[in-house]
Structure 1
Amino acid sequence: MDSQPSPENNTWTLHTRPQITAKYQILQRIGSGAYADVYRGRRLSDDLTVALKEVHDARSALREIEALRVLQGSENVVVMHEFFWIDDDEHAVIVLEFFRTDLAAVIAEAGGGGGGFDVGEVKKWMMQVVRGVDACHRNMIVHRDLKPSNFLVSDHGVLKLADFGQARIIMDPGLDSTDENPPPPYEHDYASSAPESSSIEHPSSEAFPHDQGTVNHEEYFRVLEEMKTRNTIYDTDKDTNIQDGNTSCLATCTSSNTDDGDDDLWKASLTFEAAEEEERRNELDCCLTSHVGTRWYKAPELLCGSTDYGLGVDLWSLGCIFAELLTLKPLFPGTSDVDQLSRIISVLGNIDGESWPGYSKLPDYATMSFGNVERPIGLEECMKNCGKDQVSMVKKLVCYDPAKRTTAMEILHDKFFSEEP
């Protein structure tokens, strides 16, 4: 790992930023990717070890900052200490909790001679994973890149969800904004570091009316929409499905096995020009993009080009993570998007109107053709060393129809977690 700044590497800008060096000693770079570089640092005021994440894309930075502000105080979400805007708001530095490892490394160690997990350990990890996701979904945040490497693990075994660069705050069509007790989008006030010079109006908790620490969804999204109108950069949904290098766990940044090459068989894959056109449309339509997430954990609706999805994409990823915790290997390790969907079909069976109503309306439906699977493998075979209740838990999440996936809140109350061990 690099321990000194490199003159050729313009990402090592933290050493020259007085607003940062006045408060932090930069120790070493611990991760680097397409959109961010992360450093281990020491807070001068109290010697606390922190991770300083320098995000080179303003849109991703603003999404991460806003999501973390909403989620401040959530037990299983990484803590954001503060943030800085630099270079006329082209870059941001987010100061986060520092972790030595992540869930992917824990799984790899268990599967590489570590003896595996006992049932109690698996439940402990699963419960913390769900709590992190539930915190997001209660606040109408879809993470869009859930995977083991984005769940960081402390020395004491506390697990926290990180890397919100692809997250979006959404309004679920099924949510009644007049609900008497909606989950509060902003639960805690948070003081941020102001940018030296900014052309972006950065939302703050003070912008939202509070009533004993709560605010209803209707008012929250009204104010949020006003901010989006003033700052189109916040609401633009760009294609973030890019190989992001070695920037997982320690960096609280993304490392992914995403589309790492041209997939000639995948007719719906974006060319550069198509990606640019999609981004321009998104700026006007405020729609979502299907080109997010990491392939092995990517929901079928994203693989089929959907731009009208919701929290269900996270629930699918959650099921894949559960299966990996239980078997110590990825459930659907596809080598391309086409191969990914083919592997899913070989396990779950054919996609049709019964298993997934409305599937034929997906954007890429007409471009795809898969052979008929008469005898699908089934999740039981993929998890043949697991108990029935464990397979059942995964089945509740890994199903074609997003509307049938069990919510994070329902999982938390499932008897699976209340039974011994």
Structure 2
Amino acid sequence: MNTADKFIIRKSILELAKRGAPRSNSIDDEIRQSHRHQQHPHRGGKEEIGDGGYEGRKNDNLWDYITALGAQLSRPPYDPYREIVNLDTPIGRRKVNGLVMNMPLLIYSDDDNNGKEDERGELHEGPKEALHIALNRLAESGIALGFVSRAPSPNRKYFLFQKVDGTRRRTSPSEHYDHGYDDNSDGLVLEYEGKDSVTALESIRREFDGPILVRVDEDFLSYVDLLLSAGADGLLVDTSKILTKASGSGSSISRYKDKHAIKVIRDARSAIDAYYYKRKTSDGACLVVAGDVNNSGSIVKAAALGADVIGYSTSLLIANAELYSGNPFDVSAVAERIARHILATRGEIKGVAGALGYSNFHNLSPSDLRTSSIEASLQGNIALEGPSKRYKQIVEEILDDLIREEEKGLIIEEEEKKKLLLRLMVDG
């Protein structure tokens, strides 16, 4: 138990002794509010948004308001040090083109420049080399991860997912199109750039046997079916890019304006599931979530919400390794730190899955989560603490009770009820 946990328990006991009744609000909220006030004392504990506007909890990190339930007697916990907790993560809808990573992490960055510039603007390859060494060391120890990069990596022992453009490029008067990938790549990440990307995907699918992921934009709900039908093996959803673009568009009709990553994850998972539900089958298209998921806690929560793979930030991984290695230019020390960080993350997510009673990390589901935030319940469709019901369920039950009271003469058709619910939920 850390100092923060002890503080919360001690404060709860003192409050109970003083008031003679349990607390009616969350200590977590008070701590977060105090922390925000210390960071921005001029805001009076509120977060500034837009052009001088203010809002309370809207911009809070909703990950902090979500917790996971421990295993119950009906599903006892596993001891990850004595029993196997499986982290193997398959990518690929067909067995012939699939691969299996040994943990659900895909080292990912939207920035292809993984080096560092000095004062003269010259690029050092140290960080990129350190990452290459670390991933090779992990592969040698039986932990094969995936790495997303535009450039091919020679002498690698890990899986390489090469970035390719989402449009077709003709290189000669003939009908040959160059999509810019190396034949030795294990997988590809295609950038969605409009309807032409679907044509490009179909063309690449005829030539390339490995798994193909498509990085989508904020309008992905309108074309998920097209991508999966064209042969995509999964979606790569960069929540930070989607939310930034939605917030910066200035459009109030944007689906993800003022939303959190959990809303994007929920929608992406639902879109993939809906595609298979309509076809009464499933062949394993996966969801890769990158962006606002960079610690063990959010990795577990994102997985429970439907992510199959987490795109772990390359820049953050390297920055943390450099910070603690002592010498940022010591490639060997940085590589060792990167490897140790990934191993620690592996142990933590195995431990959480085991504590929840699962022998397979991918068995996590939204039913393992609870939240103290109505906003998180709405966006992630997560049950609230206490009643163990989603906010939508609570509102719907209240509405049903009103409809059943015939003496009040409240008669609502099913379609009207759905419209009313949507207005009550305000859940874009």
TM-score, length-normalised on structure 1? 0.26
- Could you state the TM-score of these two structures normalised by the residue count of structure 2? 0.26
Query: More helix per residue: 1 or 2?
Result: 2
